[in-house]
Amino acid sequence: MAQTCQSCGNVQQPPRPRCIACHGTDLTWRDAPATGTVHSWTVVEHQINPHFPAPYTVLLVDVAVPGATHPVRYLGHVPGRTEPAVGDAVRLVFEDLAEGVTIPNWVLDD
């Protein structure tokens, strides 16, 4: 999903209480594709959260949300030291981190 301003049509990520374009509060959600492309990436070598053992590769993913005037960017991660190319295809998955805790994430398409 992608947060969308009903007043001006801006699509923003991450979600916020106000539109970053017009400061409106009439925000809603629109469907987003479950596919994207790698915009950038980096490897995290120091563990910060016990659910994400280091090393892991953080992905910044561009998603072409219908109606958006720009790619909408989402974060994700893949285990280990991966070296994706900018523009590599990714697809959305949902990962169970703990009981009752599920997060959206991306996997590189082969």
Residue 56: name the closest of 64, 65, 66, 48 by CA. 48
For the segment 84-103, give every residue that binds Zn ion (CB under 5 A).
none
Judged by CB under 5 A, the number of residues near Zn ion is 8
Hey, what amino acid is at 36?
Answer: G
Strands 89-98 and 35-44: antiparallel
CB of 18 to Zn ion, least distance (A): 8
CB of 20 to Zn ion, least distance (A): 8
In whole angstroms, what is the distance from residue 15 CA to residue 74 CA? 11
Contact map string, positions 3 to 42, toward Zn ion, x by CB under 5 A: --x-xx-x--------x-xx-x------------------
On whether the CB atoms of residues 32 and 92 are closer than 8 A, the answer is: no
How many residues are there in the chain? 110
CB of 5 to Zn ion, least distance (A): 3
On whether the CB atoms of residues 25 and 36 are closer than 8 A, the answer is: no
Which of 3, 10 has the CB closer to Zn ion?
Answer: 10
Q: Which positions touch Zn ion (CB under 5 A)?
A: 5, 7-8, 10, 19, 21-22, 24
